[in-house]
């Protein structure tokens, strides 16, 4: 009679195999732990002991940081040059320099100027702007002469007046108000008016040289009204200056973007420019005749 499997005792071979596998796993785990501990101990011996960090900033370190900061800021605000292009510094030249260039290029039929003709043709499209800048900076009737800065091409192909004639509005109106009075007297006396023959030059006539024909000619006397020492004392010293009140507390500078004149100055300027100012204060007077409505340019 055979016994059922659950009544049989444990297999001695299976028990022995299980014990051997358990002992091998335990030995392998101990070997791994020992290897990891040895590696950590070796790494700990190789690393130097950490030094305590000092929070104090020495004088040398401060100087080094300051020098680095100055170098960084100088690079930040320095002039950036594109692609290694170095812009040549343009020095102001005397007026004789441009006069000599124009005089030498008066006759373009010479063979040595054959390459400059292309530059002259290319400069023609800028001629209206050059004429506009010339007319814009023409001396006023109360000025005898006016020296201006010019920007010219090295071949003399084109020349621009490199200035903008900023003015103070009430001063400019008062100046032309006095010119209205003086021009009526000039028209009556005919001292500054001379008849002129037109056209002044023939078609084939070469242009006159400025240094030979115009430079030595004494310009006509400036047209200025005689200001009263008492009534016009607030503006008498600077009224006909080219750049009045520059460097004083009444204007911000040569641009005249902001100006603040005193009450006696404004009263005198209003009295001198009164003939050019309207006395109409009623806006209904301009009904159906709004001059701004007739303007054609885009605003």
Residue 181 pLDDT class (50, 70, 90 cuts): very high
Could you tell me what percent of the chain has a pLDDT over 70?
86
The average pLDDT across 182-201 equals 80
The model's pLDDT over 253-292, given as tens digits with 9 standing for 90+, comes to 889 999 999 999 999 999 999 999 888 888 788 777 777 7
Beta bridge partners of 152: 159
pLDDT value of residue 108: 73
Residue-by-residue DSSP string for the chain: -PPPGGGSPPPHHHHHHHHHHHHHHHHHHHHHHHHHHHHHHHHHHHSPPPPPPP----HHHHHHHHHHHHHHHHHHSSPPPGGG--PPP-----HHHHHHHHHHTS-TTSGGGTTHHHHHHHGGGGHHHHHHHHHHTPPPTT-S-----EEE-TTSS-EEE-------HHHHHHHHHHHHHHHHHHHHH-SS-----SSSS-TTPPPPPHHHHTTTSPPPPP--PPPPTTTTTTTTTTTT-SSTTTTSTTBSSTT-SSB---HHHHHHHHHHTGGGS-----GGGGTT--GGGG--S--
Q: Compute the chain's Rg from CA coordinates.
A: 46
Residue 7 has pLDDT above 90, yes or no: no
Q: Which residue has the tokens 């009623």?
A: 282
Q: Which burial class, exposed, middle or buried, applies to 196 when counting CB atoms under 10 A from its CB (0-12, 13-18, 19+)?
A: exposed
* Higher local confidence (pLDDT), 210 or 261: 261
Residue 50 pLDDT class (50, 70, 90 cuts): low
Distance, in Å, from the CA atom of 210 to the CA atom of 206, rounded to the nearest integer, reads 12
pLDDT value of residue 133: 95
The average pLDDT across 164-181 equals 94
pLDDT value of residue 236: 92
Residue 191 has pLDDT above 80, yes or no: no
pLDDT value of residue 16: 78
Residue of 155, 152, 109 lying closest to 130 (CA atoms): 152
pLDDT value of residue 192: 66
Q: Which burial class, exposed, middle or buried, applies to 149 when counting CB atoms under 10 A from its CB (0-12, 13-18, 19+)?
A: exposed
Residue 160 pLDDT class (50, 70, 90 cuts): very high
Nearest-10 crossing angle of helices 263-272, 169-189: 30
Residue of 144, 149, 153, 163 lying closest to 124 (CA atoms): 153
Residue 14 has pLDDT above 60, yes or no: yes
């Amino acid at each position: 009679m055979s016994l059922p499997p659950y009544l049989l005792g444990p297999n001695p071979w299976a028990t022995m195999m299980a014990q051997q596998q358990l002992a091998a796993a335990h030995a392998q785990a101990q070997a791994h732990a020992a290897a990891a501990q040895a590696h950590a101990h070796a790494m700990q011996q190789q690393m130097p002991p950490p030094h305590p960090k000092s929070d104090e900033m020495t004088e040398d370190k401060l100087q080094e940081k300051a020098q680095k900061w100055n170098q960084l800021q100088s690079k930040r605000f320095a002039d950036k040059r594109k692609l290694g292009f170095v812009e040549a510094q343009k020095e102001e030249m005397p007026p004789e320099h441009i006069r000599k260039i124009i005089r030498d290029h008066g006759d373009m039929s010479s063979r040595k100027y054959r390459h400059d003709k292309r530059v002259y043709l290319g400069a023609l499209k800028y001629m209206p702007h050059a004429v506009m800048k010339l007319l814009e900076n023409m001396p006023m009737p109360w000025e005898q002469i006016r020296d201006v800065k010019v920007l010219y091409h090295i071949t003399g192909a084109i020349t621009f007046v490199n200035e903008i004639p900023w003015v103070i509005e009430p001063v400019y109106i008062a100046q032309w108000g006095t010119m209205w009075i003086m021009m009526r007297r000039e028209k009556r006396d005919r001292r500054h008016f001379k008849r002129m023959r037109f056209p002044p030059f023939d078609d084939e006539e070469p242009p006159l040289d400025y240094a030979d024909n115009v430079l030595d000619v004494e310009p006509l006397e400036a047209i200025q009204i005689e200001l009263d020492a008492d009534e016009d004392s607030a503006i008498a010293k600077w009224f006909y200056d080219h750049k009045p009140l520059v460097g004083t507390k009444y204007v911000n500078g040569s641009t005249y973007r902001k100006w603040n004149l005193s009450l006696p100055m404004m009263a005198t300027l209003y009295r001198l420019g009164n003939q050019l100012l309207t006395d109409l204060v009623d806006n209904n007077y301009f009904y159906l005749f709004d001059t701004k409505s007739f303007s054609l340019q885009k605003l």
